[in-house]
Every structure is written in C-alpha cells, then in structure tokens.
Amino acid sequence: MLSIWEKEALLEYDFIIIGAGITGLSAALSLREKKPHASILILERGLLPTGASTKNAGFACIGTIGENLNDIALLGEDRVIQLMIKRWEGLQLTRKRTGDSSIDFEQNGGYELLIENKNETLDKINYLNTLLKPHFKKPIYSDATPLIPTFGFNKKMVKGMVFNHIDGQLHSGKMIHKLWQLCGEQRIKIITGAEVISVPESSQKLQVVTQLLNTPESVISFGTSQLLICTNAFIKKLLPDVKVCPARGQVLTTSPIPNLPFKGTFNFDEGYYYFRNLNNRILFGGGRNLNFEAENTIELKITQTVQHKLEWYLREMIVPDKPFSITERWAGIMGFGIDKTPEVRRYSERICIGVKLNGMGVALGSKIGEELALLSIT
C-alpha cells in the first residue's frame, strides 16, 4: 500500500534504466549530458550489480590478434574494424569520465600466447597492422616470442606470443564504484534490490513493475516515458524474443606471488582462457569451452571441471616454478550472440535496448551506453 507522498514524488521518471552494470550506468551519464533537467532512475535487481560488470577480469582491450582474425573470417574486415574502434572509443570515454587513477587503469599491453598454429598467426601480424593503420596510426601487434623465457611460461606449451601495445587493464569494482558516484553527483537515482518483473506498455506511458528481492508483497510500479534496458544476458526474462545467449565466465585469483615475472593481460586458446597480473597476484578465468552446454546458463555458480582446468594451466603452463594458493573464486554472466555485434536498437515506442556485449563490455560498455542514450531521445 503506497502513501500519497510516495505516489506523488517517488514513482514517475522521464527515463528509467534497468541494470546498473557498466552499460546502464554509462547510459544514464550520457543521458544526463543531453538532458540536464530530466528525472532519471536506475533499477538494479541485486544489492550490488549482479551480472558481469563487477565479476569480470578487467581487461580493457580492443581485441587480440587471434580473436580479430577469427572475427574477420566470420564478419568481414569492416565490421571487425568498426567493433575495434567502438571498443577503443568506449574505453577512452570511461577513462575520461572516471580518470585513470580512480579505476587503477594501466596500459601494460596485452599478449596472446600461441599454443598451436604459431607461424600461421605470426604471419598475419603485418596484414592486420596494415588493415588497422588508417584507424590506429601506429602498428598495434608485434611478435613477442622472445619474451617467453622472461615471463617464465612453460616453453614446451607456449610456442609463440604476440604483443598488442594499446591494451590495458583496470579494477572493475573501482570502475563501477566511480560510475556510481558520478551518477549520484549527476542527480541520477539508483535503487538496488529492485527486480523488474514486467514492463507493460500503453499508448500514454510505460509501467515498470518491480519487486524487492523475491518478495511478491513488495511489488511497485514505476512510470516512465522512455525505458532503457541494459540487462545484457538477462534480457530474455523481460523480452523473450530478444536473442541473447547467456554464457557463464568463471574466475580465480592466486595468493601474492613474489617477483611475478610478467605484467599485462594475456589470453590463449582463442580467448577462451585469460589471465592478468593483479599487482603481484594472478587473476585467471575462462574454460567455458570445456562444456558450452553447461556454461550457457545464468546460474552464478562455479564448477569443479572449470576450476580444476584453470588450476592445471596455472601450475603446468603459467607459473610452473612458483608456489601459490587460490584465494578467491567467482562467476559472472555474459551475453553473447552469433554475430558478435552488440544490439542497440529501439524495441518499441517507449523501449530501447542495449545488450549483447559479447564478453567485451569493459571497453565497449560506455560506448553502447552512449549510443543507447542518444537513441532514446530521438
């Protein structure tokens, strides 16, 4: 039962955004730049954002050589270049908003470890650098194979390495914290613990029906003229016809490793495995290709199969000579589509969606938020 005070002051907004991940928070900030006087509300089901934005690995990357070559075969050169530019622009927008120091941004570069097909990939470095030169000025990729012994990787397993000098890394929790803080400064209201359960639309306005953390008696309807849905992997629950496939990513971190011999972001096996230094620890994730069917889920759970494989790679290949223990393990949920392209579009007269970040949202999220905000006001 709502009071007259609540009905008159707390339920109606010009814009409502569902999802307080990087896309939703960025969309809100971009909206505020265009609409200084609008009322803006973000509704988040978790007490903290509960999708991918605070669960990821914090790679601020435009794409590894292997990933880009695979994508070119799938999507063609133009679409891959556009995607790389969007990732780059998204990252610059995030950095401009937050400042590098508040998100621990470091540009240590990114490396792809070549386990198989070493020569095939190294031979493509020139091709990709030439293709990207008009957009990124300097060559991006270079052969870093001679660094393998310095980094201490198992030389029998890691046969080659390609360096990308513009990739970076950041602290995902600090990034969301800062975006959240900026939303507060910009008079953007965030309500957490509010799961949107339906979005009935009439010609006059749109109702956004929420309930508090699975308690049916707490249902509240908010009204808005424009709704922006930024729930990525979870959009099907609200709009079942939007095709986004959930994909779980599992992560672990090691204890501090004295004199850890490498810095930067690393990936191998077509990007299905990724690790980075987190100061002198290793954060390592991936392995969903071990069982796609089981990992195409929205269940935030870790599994023995994936966690064992991650530990195996750490001990056998990444830091074979150093003792460590595992201190943290967690999972997050990404949203994928076959065409690897984010979906930013008007869904109906009052609903716009910005979803399907395809596991690249740390770099892309701000750009997708910006595009979505512009779409919602045109």
Ligand X SMILES: Cc1cc2nc3c(=O)[nH]c(=O)nc-3n(C[C@H](O)[C@H](O)[C@H](O)COP(=O)(O)OP(=O)(O)OC[C@H]3O[C@@H](n4cnc5c(N)ncnc54)[C@H](O)[C@@H]3O)c2cc1C
Structure tokens that stand for 28 in this block: 């809100």
Q: Which is nearer to ligand X, 259 or 279 (CB)?
A: 279
Verify binding: residue 53, ligand X, rule CB under 6 A.
yes
22 binds ligand X (CB under 6 A): yes
Interaction between residue 360 and ligand X (CB under 6 A): yes
CA distance 350 to 111: 43
Query: H-helix or E-strand containing 84?
Result: helix 77-98
Helices (H) then strands (E): counts for the chain: 11, 18
Give the position of tokens 């998204």: 90
Binding track over 234-273 against ligand X, x by CB under 6 A = x--xx----------x-x----------------------
Residues 6+ apart with CB under 8 A from 203: none
Part of the chain binding ligand X (CB under 6 A), chosen from 65-73, 111-119, 332-340, 344-352:
332-340
Residues 6+ apart with CB under 8 A from 360: 61, 63, 83, 87
> Which listed residue (30, 49, 110, 151) binds ligand X by CB under 6 A?
49
Among 21, 66, 90, 110, binds ligand X (CB under 6 A): 21
Token pair belonging to 41: 């509300």
Give the DSSP H/E element, type plus range, for residue 59: strand 59-60
Using CB positions, name the residue nearest to ligand X.
Answer: 51
By beta-carbon proximity to ligand X, the closer residue of 18 and 72 is 18
Beta strand 160-164 pairing with 110-114: antiparallel
CB atoms within 10 A of CB 1: 3
Site for ligand X in 124-183 (CB under 6 A): none
Residue 228 CA to chain centroid, in angstroms? 18
By rule CB under 6 A, what count of residues binds ligand X?
43
Which residue, 118 or 212, has its beta carbon nearer to ligand X?
A: 212
Positions in 263-322 near ligand X (CB under 6 A): 285
Q: Which residue among 41, 357, 372, 373 contacts ligand X (CB under 6 A)? A: 357
Residues lying near ligand X in the complex (CB under 6 A) are found at: 18-24, 43-46, 49-53, 55-59, 195-196, 230-234, 237-238, 249, 251, 285, 332-334, 357, 359-363, 365
